[in-house]
Amino acid sequence: MKYLPHSLLLFLSLNMLSLNTYAISETGDVDLLKTNIINMVESEFTRLSVPGVSVAVVLDSGDEITAFKGTANTETKEELNEDHQFRLASVSKHLTAIMLMLLQEQGDIALDDKIINHVDLPDFPNRDIITIRQLMNHTAGVYDHVNSPNDYFSIALSEPNRVWTPEEVLNYTVQAGADFQPGAAYSYSNTGYYILGLLIEAVTEQTFAEAFNDLLVNPLSLTGIFADDYSDTNTPIEMFAANNRAYEYHKSSIGAAGNFVAKPLALAKLGQQVYAGNFISDESEAAMSTGSDLNNAYGLGSRLWSLQNIFHFGHTGTLGGYKSIYMYIPEYEVSIAVIVNGYPAVSDNWWHFLDEVMLEVVSYYKGTLETGGESTDETPTEEPVEDEDDNEEDDKDSGGSTSLLLLLISSVAVLLRRRKTLN
């Protein structure tokens, strides 16, 4: 697949306004789709050069597809299967955002509330004016303790079982000060989402893990997905696709920004029930899938993409030797989750694989897409860049002037979903 500079790709994707020409049509053969995805995993596995890869797809019909290959444990060489769990890294932010949208729908919070109305943040920069919305779309100007120069990693790696307190984590931002005034710019911040986890705990009067179970896991009858607030070298995770970095530091220092663990199928099923199952409102989905004025490619806990004119949203993750992605395609009501327990040797191969999986799924509905060859009229799911260890923003966000376009696409997608539901 031919990759172009992201800004040019976004410009070329202006013809996305023709999205409504892709009407829901007679679908293809589920068994054939499953066979094609399994074959794709087999053929691309060597090029990915990771211990293990696991893919899960949940279709609008409820059909579930899984494909996997490789090693689930880099020490024991245990063979991977569909029940192995992975760290989700920053896909956790998307799940945290869903929790916040549910709390807003229940009337417990409003997205434009000041964070200080719910969480005590002594000496925190701009604590009196930062809003929940600004934390969710990374426009609050909060210093990122994970991806900024400081002693965080040297301490965390030297004491892998150390449980961090909120005061210890937030002190990095208190000492560094704000990156900018809230609402003035976009800057990805793990610390911002750590604070949102504290907000959820304060509002629900539960631990973050308990709140996740009560808001999503129990109502949706899910298994195989949880917020990891306990694991360390002495307390490992069961059925874990472990690598040699799996427990290198305690995820209490990451919190809601990146501490979720899941089977890919559990992640895909959660997203499918939340969006296709209307577990959150159309208004909440539209808010999550619409970019801000300061970054049109990032909504409320969501990255926004287009590939061959197909709008989709979700999140990516890179943390401790794991890479993950969740994608939801509103037009077809499909969820896709892909996770690996190692960093691909060549970043382009990772993005190519994700694009091919998505196009294979879309071709099930359209029956017309070419999934091979090169094209100069594509927007890749992600702009391929070099991986940066534990840099949660290794997937760079684009700028540009397409926020209105993405808003229109998001709105059309929600309308299509609503129309299909009514039919």
Q: What is the pLDDT of residues 343-376, one digit of tens each?
A: 999 999 999 999 999 999 999 998 744 444 333 2
pLDDT on residue 12: 37
Comparison of pLDDT for 14 and 45, the residue scoring more:
45
**pLDDT category of residue 381 using cuts at 50, 70 and 90:** very low
First to last CA, the chain: 37
Q: Indicate if the alpha-carbon torsion angle 355, 361, 365, 367 is positive or negative.
A: positive
Reading the block at residue 111, the tokens are: 């997205």
pLDDT of residue 387: 34
Domains of the chain, by residue range, sit at 6-422
> pLDDT per residue over 274-332, tens digit each?
999 999 999 999 999 999 999 999 999 999 999 999 999 999 999 999 999 999 999 99
- How much is the pLDDT for 367? 72
Write the pLDDT tens digit of every residue in 87-143: 999 999 999 999 999 999 999 999 999 999 999 999 999 999 999 999 999 999 999
Does residue 418 surpass a pLDDT of 50? no
Q: Beta strand pairing status for 310-319 and 86-87?
A: unpaired
Residue 39 has pLDDT above 80, yes or no: yes
pLDDT band at 250 (very low <50, low <70, confident <90, very high): very high
Report d(CA 313, CA 7) in Å as an integer: 18
Q: What's the pLDDT at 399? A: 30
Is the pLDDT at 214 greater than 80, yes or no? yes
Shortest CA distance to 316 belongs to which of 343, 280, 294? 343
**391 pLDDT exceeds 80?**
no
Q: Please give the CATH superfamily to which domain 6-422 belongs.
A: DD-peptidase/beta-lactamase superfamily (3.40.710.10)
pLDDT bracket for residue 27 (50, 70, 90): low
